[in-house]
Amino acid sequence: MIGGDKWQGSERLGGLRRFAVAITVLNLAGHFFLGFEQSYAQPLCAVATAYGMEILLEIVDARVNGRRPRFLGGLQVGVDFLLSPHITGLAVAMLLYSNQRLWPTIFASAAAVGSKSIFRVAAGKGTRHVFNPSNFGIALTLLLFPWVGIAPPYHFTENLPAVGRWLLPAVIVFSGTYLNARFTRRLPLIAAWVSGFGLQASVRSLMFHTPVIAALLPMTGVAFILFTFYMVTDPATTPGEPRSQVVFGAAVGTAYGLLVFFHIVFGLFFALVIVCGLRLLGLYVLGALRVGARTPARLEAAGAAGRSAPLPVPGAAVLERVDR
């Protein structure tokens, strides 16, 4: 399965609410106190686009499947439905920097939410998206529009005194550790990712005589901490089993090291997209192999019954939908 059963069940909503509150507080503090350099219009446009895309895709899916849209049923139901695009929109607006232009942020938010409907694999009785939405939207925007960049790392603590520059990262680490321990259960993934990042930095230092402190320097930034606790650990798009989490986290660290070796910038975001893409391919192949293994038995059963049984189509389950 993609993600843990607990996250998709009873603890998903509680986790989403807390993630949404945390990222909202950080954005408000960032724009009013910390020194975020994007305009106020950036998060507003990003969130509005994410809301609109989520509602539009839900309406289309509900009509195709002959069911009631999931955002209907009262104010609380509607608010809970918009938690996911709320997090996505704010993450995109917080991390991308496109100067005074708004449309790259709008594009990134739309691509982020749209990726959840396009890239899906079978999971249990339904399907699940495999790319972290905000990371996918950011990576695609950086790839298509080279003049768009990432927000400068210093803007998270630009207006803080010396003590605050230590206190803010400590708060993010503490809250992120709690959320991932209590709700997502992705601490093994975090440990593997951080260890993998440190290992690739040490290997590059040994091979190319890069100062190890310089190679490890990104780990000291708030952007790295946010990526570690709130993006690479996305429970809907990462493995649920601890051993698989370790493999996933180490793979992202390895991919980052290779990207740096080939002088490719914005390695954090591209590394996660690459690993999620490889996981998508692997899950699809495994699904196709399982379908192929079941087909002879179904043909034999159909022949014994004197009728023709419909054959499963590999990947057809990707068109189904489940709660995000």
Rounded to an integer, the average pLDDT of 255-274 is 96
pLDDT interval class at 229 (50, 70, 90)? very high
Query: CA 174, CA 91: separation in Å to the nearest integer?
Result: 19
187, 233, 283 from 246: Cα distances, Å: 9, 11, 17
Torsion on CA atoms 2, 119, 80, 9, rounded to nearest 10:
-20
Nearest to 19 by CA among 179, 238, 240, 130: 179
pLDDT value of residue 71:
94
Domain parsing of the chain, residue ranges: 5-319
Considering the chain, what is the average pLDDT of its residues? Answer: 87
Residue 30 has pLDDT above 50, yes or no: yes
pLDDT value of residue 153:
83
Judged on CB neighbours under 10 Å (0-12, 13-18, 19+), 127 is: buried
Nearest to 14 by CA among 153, 141, 178: 178
**Percentage of residues of the chain with pLDDT beyond 90:** 70
Question: By mean pLDDT, which of 10-14, 113-117, 248-252, 285-289 is the weakest?
Answer: 10-14
pLDDT tens digits for 121-133? Answer: 877 677 888 999 9
What pTM value is reported for the model?
A: 0.86
Query: Which run of H or of E encompasses 22?
Result: helix 12-29
pLDDT value of residue 114:
96
More confident residue, 28 or 100: 28
Rounded to an integer, the average pLDDT of 247-269 is 96
Question: By mean pLDDT, which of 48-62, 186-200, 245-259, 289-303 is the weakest?
Answer: 289-303
pLDDT interval class at 286 (50, 70, 90)? confident
pLDDT value of residue 305:
55
Residue 178 has pLDDT above 60, yes or no: yes
Rounded to an integer, the average pLDDT of 240-267 is 96
Are the C-beta atoms of residues 11 and 183 closer than 8 Å to each other? yes
The 8-class DSSP code of residue 182 comes to: I
